[in-house]
Amino acid sequence: MIVRDDMTFPFAEYQRRIDELRGRMQKRLLDAIVISDPENLMYLTDYQTTGYSFFQALVIPLDNEPFMITRKLEESNVYARTWVEITRPYPDTGDAIQMLVESLREFGLNGKHIGYERNSYFFPAYHQDSIHTTFTDGRLLDCFGIVEQGRITKSPVEIEIMRKAAHATEAGMKAGFEACVAGATENEIGAAISAGMFQAGGETPAVMPYVTSGPRTMIGHATWEGRVVQPGEHVFLEVGGCYRRYHTAMMRTVVLGDMTDTFYKAQEKMKLALQRLKEIMRPGLTVSDADNLVRAIITDNDIGGSLITRSGYSIGIAFPPSWDEGYIISLKQGISTVLEEGMTFHIIPWMWGVEGDKTMGISDTLYVTENGCESFFTLDKDFVVKPEYGA
Amino acid sequence: MIVRDDMTFPFAEYQRRIDELRGRMQKRLLDAIVISDPENLMYLTDYQTTGYSFFQALVIPLDNEPFMITRKLEESNVYARTWVEITRPYPDTGDAIQMLVESLREFGLNGKHIGYERNSYFFPAYHQDSIHTTFTDGRLLDCFGIVEQGRITKSPVEIEIMRKAAHATEAGMKAGFEACVAGATENEIGAAISAGMFQAGGETPAVMPYVTSGPRTMIGHATWEGRVVQPGEHVFLEVGGCYRRYHTAMMRTVVLGDMTDTFYKAQEKMKLALQRLKEIMRPGLTVSDADNLVRAIITDNDIGGSLITRSGYSIGIAFPPSWDEGYIISLKQGISTVLEEGMTFHIIPWMWGVEGDKTMGISDTLYVTENGCESFFTLDKDFVVKPEYGA
pLDDT at B391: 80
Residue B284, min C-alpha distance to chain A (Å): 23
Tens of pLDDT, residues B167-205: 999 999 999 999 999 999 999 999 999 999 999 999 999
Q: Do B125 and A126 touch (CB under 8 A)?
A: no
pLDDT value at position A73?
96
Separation between Cα atoms, residue B179 and residue B193, nearest integer Å:
8
Contact list in B for residue A73 (CB cut-off 8 A) is 220-221, 308-309, 352
- Do A77 and B320 lie within an 8 Å CB cutoff? no
Percent of chain A with pLDDT over 90: 99
SS (H, E, C) chain B: CCCCCCCCCCHHHHHHHHHHHHHHHHHCCCCEEEECCHHHHHHHHCCCCCCCCCCCEEEEECCCCCEEEEEHHHHHHHHHHCCCCEEEEECCCCCHHHHHHHHHHHCCCCCCEEEECCCCCCCCHHHHHHHHHHCCCCEEEECCCCCHHHHCCCCHHHHHHHHHHHHHHHHHHHHHHHHCCCCCEHHHHHHHHHHHHHHCCCCCCCCCCEEEEHHHHHCCCCCCCCCECCCCCEEEEEEEEEECCEEEEEEEEEECCCCCHHHHHHHHHHHHHHHHHHHHCCCCCEHHHHHHHHHHHHHCCCCCCECCCCCEEEECECCCCCCECCCCCEECCCCCCECCCCCEEEECCCEEEECCCEEECCCEEEEECCCCEEECCCCCCCCEECHHHCC
Is A289's Cβ below 8 Å from some Cβ in B? no
What's the length of chain B?
391
Average pLDDT of span A6-23: 98
Per-domain residue ranges for chain B?
11-151, 156-389
In this structure, what DSSP letter does residue A276 have? H
Question: Residue B162 in contact with residue B246, Cβ under 8 Å?
Answer: yes
For residue A312, the chain B residues in CB contact (below 8 A) are: none
Task: Establish if A320 touches chain B: CB-CB under 8 angstroms.
Answer: yes
pLDDT for B227 equals: 98
State the pLDDT confidence band at B126, using cuts at 50, 70 and 90.
very high
Whether residue B125 and residue A128 make contact (CB cut-off 8 A), yes or no, is yes
Q: Do A119 and B118 touch (CB under 8 A)?
A: no
Q: Is it the case that residue A50 has pLDDT exceeding 90?
A: yes
pLDDT at B207: 98
**CATH of span A11-150:** 3.40.350.10
- B77 closest CB neighbour out of A73, A201, A220: A220
Q: In a mutagenesis test of the B interface, which of A75, A193, A221 is the best target, namely the one with the most B β-carbons within 10 Å?
A: A221
Chain A window 159-188: which residues touch B at a Cβ cutoff of 8 Å?
A: 187-188
Q: Find the residue in A nearest to B77 (Cα).
A: A219
Order of strands, edge to edge, in the sheet holding B86-90? B86-90, B67-71, B57-61, B32-35, B113-116, B139-142
A361 touching B, CB under 8 A?
A: no
Query: pLDDT (tens digit, 9 = 90+) per residue, B98-123?
Result: 999 999 999 999 999 999 999 999 99
Count Cα atoms within 13 angstroms, Cβ side, for A368: 24
Residue of A nearest to B49 (CA): A221
Hey, is the C-beta of B220 within 8 angstroms of any chain A C-beta? yes
- What pLDDT is recorded for position B258? 97
- The closest CB to that of B74, out of A72, A220, A319, belongs to A220
Residue B319 has pLDDT above 90, yes or no: yes
Instruction: Return the C-alpha torsion angle A211, A216, A219, A225, nearest 10.
Output: -60
Cα of A329 to nearest chain B Cα, Å: 12
* pLDDT score of A238: 98
A chain contacts of residue B120, beta-carbon cutoff 8 Å: 124
Residues 6+ apart with CB under 8 A from A158: A9, A246, A316, A342
Contacts of B321 in chain A (CB under 8 A): 50, 52-53, 319-321
Q: Which fold has domain B156-389?
A: Creatine Amidinohydrolase (3.90.230)
CATH superfamily, domain B11-151, is Creatinase/prolidase N-terminal domain (3.40.350.10)
Contact (Cβ atoms closer than 8 angstroms) between residue B42 and residue B317: yes
Kindly report the number of other CB atoms within 10 A of residue B280's CB atom.
12
Q: What is the mean pLDDT of residues B16-43?
A: 98
Residue B17: CA count within 13 A, CB half-sphere = 27
**B contact test, residue of A6, A198, A291 with most B CBs within 10 A:** A198
Residue ranges of A 90-119 with Cβ closer than 8 A to chain B: 91-93, 118-119
Closest C-alpha to A166, from A274, A239, A235: A239
Task: Taking residues B218-228, report their average pLDDT.
Answer: 98
Q: Determine the residue of chain A that is closest to B215 in CA distance.
A: A80
- Whether residue A350 has pLDDT greater than 90: yes
Percent of chain B with pLDDT over 70: 100
| pLDDT confidence of residue A223 | 98
Nearest Cα to Cα of residue A168 among A135, A138, A196, A127? A196
Report the C-alpha gap between A391 and B241 in whole angstroms.
34
- Chain A residue closest to B128 (CA)? A125
Burial category of A390 from C-beta neighbours within 10 Å (exposed 0-12, middle 13-18, buried 19 and up): middle
Whole-complex ipTM: 0.98
Q: What pLDDT does residue A391 have?
A: 80
Partner A contacted by B244 (CB < 8 A): yes
Beta-bridge mates of residue A142: A116
Which among A149, A124, A38 is positioned nearest to B126, based on CA atoms? Answer: A124
Residues of B in contact with A187 (CB under 8 A): 198-199, 201-203
**B117 vs B120: CA distance, rounded Å:** 5
Which chain B residues are Cβ-neighbours of A203 within 8 angstroms? 187, 223-225
| pLDDT band, residue B132 (cuts 50/70/90) | very high
Report the residue of A37, A46, A50 to disrupt the B interface, i.e. the one with the largest count of B CBs within 10 Å.
Answer: A50
Cα distance from A334 to chain B (closest Cα, Å)? 8
A260 pLDDT above the threshold of 90: yes
**Contact yes or no for A74 and B221 at CB 8 A:** yes
Strand partners, B258: none
Q: CB contact, 8 Å: B356 with chain A?
A: no
What pLDDT shows up at residue A142?
A: 97
Three-state secondary structure call for residue A97: helix
Instruction: Over range A351-376, report the average pLDDT.
Output: 98
Nearest to A121 among B121, B188, B225 (CB): B121
Residues facing B67 on adjacent strands: B59, B86
Residue A74 DSSP class: G
Q: How confident is the model over A78-104, as a mean pLDDT?
A: 97
Chain B within 8 Å of A207 (Cβ-Cβ)?
A: yes
Q: Which of B6, B221, B331 to mutate to test the interface with A (most CBs of A within 10 A)?
A: B221
